[in-house]
Amino acid sequence: MKTLKQLERLRRAHKFIQYANTGTPKEFALKLNISEREVYRIIEYLKEVDATICFSRTSNSYYYIDDFDLLVNVSVKVLIKEEIRTIYAGTTVLDKNFKNAILIGVTDRLWQ
């Protein structure tokens, strides 16, 4: 469920940036419970999807220069073996007995 954790971190980071309440990169990392390096990866990812982000030394926070909103969509569905087909834009995770599968569909790529 690493992908779900990444999406949740991205959503939380967006909210902090949206309200200009991140603190320094080190403080931001503590708020998100991640490394400072991961903060920089999130910032880079947001810039890749056209978010205009700056850091204010006056307020010690990242902020969006222009209006920017982020919508994260996740779909989770339990499937029985007979329902499993070729799945596009998602990941299929099977249990040990191959009786159930979980489909996790992610609408956007994540940083590596």
Report the chain's terminal Cα–Cα distance, integer Å: 15
Matching residue, tokens 């599968």: 101
Please name the helix (run of DSSP H) or strand (run of DSSP E) that holds residue 102, with its range, or none.
Answer: strand 100-106
Judge whether 111 and 41 are in contact, CB under 8 Å: yes
Domains for the chain: give ranges and CATH numbers.
2-64 (1.10.10.10), 74-106 (no CATH)
Q: Which of 8-22, 70-84, 98-112 has the highest mean pLDDT?
A: 8-22
Residue 61 has, within 13 A of its CA and on its CB side, a CA count of: 15
Dig out the tokens for 97 from the structure. 């007995």
Quick one: pLDDT at residue 86? Answer: 52
Phi, psi of 84 (to 5 degrees): -75, 125
Range from 29-33, 37-41, 95-99 carrying the lowest mean pLDDT: 95-99
Q: Band of the pLDDT at 83, cuts 50, 70, 90? A: low
Find how far residue 14's CA is from the centre of its chain: 9
Give yes or no for residue 39 having a pLDDT over 70. yes
